Structure 1
Amino acid sequence: MPVVVVSDSSSRLHPDELARWDIRQVPLHVLIDGEDLRDGCDEIPFDVHARPKVTTAGATPADLADVYRQALADSGGDGVVAVHISAALSSTYSAAVMAAREFGPAVRVVNSRSAAMGVGLIALEAARSARAGDGLDDVEAAARAAVRHTHVFLVVHRLDNLRRSGRIRTTASWLGTALSLKPLLRLDIDGRLVLDQRIRTVTKAHAAMVARVVEVVGERSAEVVVHHVDNHDDADKLGAALTQRLPQLSSLTVADMGPLLSIHVGAGAVGVALRVEAP
């Protein structure tokens, strides 16, 4: 049996992709007024990012162990590679490491150092390796190689959600003029959300994001996903600009960021996740 790939709901993988590549998904949690809703399983209000008393929580070791156990059984003992949201952004990775101890070397946990479809693109690369018949070591290696070639950029309209969620340090020097600042953010090599450029307008920030993606991709092929939170028009414009500037892209899709991530970045946010082909 092929190695089975597991991810979590932060990956934003479409149900059709999960089914096609037999990727198992562990739900993360959205907490609204004490009610625990499972991302990707339960119905979550479309405006959840605008609600003041909303928090998120990672997957628990028990949640993860249940999925790993079934995936390992379905692999016929060949093994599981689990690709999860950046350890710098969620407790899910540390919970996954804890859960995997039950299974020894048969379950390999990979810190994607990414978010949204950055996680999804890495999981898909691992799933392609598994589908090709690669063994556990090679599928894990494919995932870890994809981590090195995956990038995420983000422009938010306001910093309030990021402040409340603790995903940026409130002492960061670049927050000085938060009301007018439209920063271009990125996930760094350790999967932390950091400032890429200080920019004053949304239009210029979007243009800067396109330029950064073009710079990262260069002449190579890449898979690109443009994400948004209730901002399909700007996401479509970004997608069109990237398609024009990078005609060699192997794929470009536009997708919402999902309720879990929208809580942290707020309405109007637009981001780009991409995996560049290895040289």
Structure 2
Amino acid sequence: MAVAVVTDSSTGLPTELVAALGIKVVPLHVRVGARELREGVDDMPADLAHRSVTTSAASPGELQAAYEQAAHGADGVVAVHLSRYLSGTFDAARTAAAATAGPVRVVDSASAGMGTGFGALAAARVAHGGGTVEEVTAAAVRVAERARCLLVVDRLEQLRRGGRISTAATIFGTGLVSRPLLQLVDGRLVLKEKARTASKVLAKLSDTATRLAGTGGAAVAVQHLDAPERAAELGRALQERVPLLDEFVVTEFGPTLGVHLGSGALGAVVVPGGAGVVHMG
């Protein structure tokens, strides 16, 4: 019996990878007025920037149901979730794990998007190789610790409104005379550096991602929200510049992250050393 791997819908993991590795994905929620919609299940509004649109974590009950379903016939469950500082999902997951029969290990990826997704992929690959609960958990933790997440947004208004960015970055104002390059550090979104124009900050994003990837092999993901052309351009640059790509993924930010990032957001996730596979996307 294999170990089951669970994650949440904020990862943006491509459906083919989820299906191939049997990862169970728990939907997070988008609230539109009085309506509560499940990411990846229910139809979402076209305008995620509207002030009436917010997000919420999966509930302990939802997570417990997912863990119990995943645990059926398995040796245990390893759940890899987005940063506790960005969502209440991790705390809900710990509550759910304590109420679930059988071993459930909950991993705080200290990340988001494919930063969490690569940790879940690493865990699932070790699980498919016959790894124990401890080995699967360790794989997720190792990859999550190495993952580096970089982000460029067109405007900071939605991040400020949702409290997802440190006060240090609010000095830019909504007009963004300067363009920020943001990064996740210990699970919190902070300012890394700034540039004067959109083209220069995108160049910094590419340069920084290339440097972080190093020369010893890396898993790289490009994520975007309504910016397919910029994502394709960044993807081409990283494929050309990173000496050894073990794995390359281009995917969209889902609605629960999109509510906070805004249209035009572009990100890169780099895992030096890879996430347990040698594959060119």
SS at 2:183 equivalent: strand
C-alpha distance in 2 between matches for 1:34 and 1:150: 36
- Decide whether the 8 Å contact of 2:23 with 2:124 is kept in 1: yes
The unaligned stretches of length 5 or more in structure 1 are none
Q: Which shows bigger deviation, 59-68 or 199-208?
A: 199-208
Aligned-pair CA distance for 1:253: 2.5
Mind listing any 5+ residue stretches in structure 2 that lack a counterpart? 275-281
The corresponding residue for 2:172 is 177
Q: Percent identity?
A: 42
Q: Quick one: distance in 1 between partners of 2:172 and 2:116?
A: 32
Q: Could you tell me which residue of structure 2 aligns to residue 267 of structure 1?
A: 263
Deviations 1:88-123 (A, max 9, x none): 100000000111112366000000111111111110
Matches within 5 A, 1:86-97: 86-97=83-94
Select between 10-19 and 154-163 the one with higher mean Cα deviation. 10-19
Counterpart amino acid of residue 192 in structure 1:
R
TM-score, normalised on structure 1? 0.94
List, as ranges, runs of 4+ consecutive aligned residues in structure 1 with deviation greater than 6 Å: none
Mapped contact 2:169–2:190 kept (Cα < 8 A): no
Structure 1 contact 220–248 (Cα < 8 Å) conserved: yes
**How many angstroms apart in 2 are the aligned matches of 1:229 and 1:35?**
23
Contact 1:48–1:259, Cα closer than 8 Å, also in 2: no
Instruction: From the superposition, tell whether residues 101 and 183 of structure 1 become closer, same or farther in structure 2 (CA, over 3 Å).
Output: same
* Counterpart residue number, 1:140: 137
- The answer on 1:98 being equivalent to 2:125 is no
Q: Partners of 1:48 and 1:74 in 2: how far apart?
A: 42
| Distance in structure 1 (CA, Å) of the matches to 2:59 and 2:120 | 20
Partner of 2:122: 125
Corresponding pairs, count: 272
Q: Verify: 1:205 aligned to 2:201, yes or no.
A: yes
Of residues 244, 248, 255, the one that matches 2:251 is: 255
Q: Which residue of 2 aligns with 1:54?
A: 53
Superposition deviation, residue 52 in structure 1:
2.2
Q: CA RMSD in A?
A: 1.3
Q: Conserved in 1, the CA contact under 8 Å of 2:212 and 2:270?
A: no
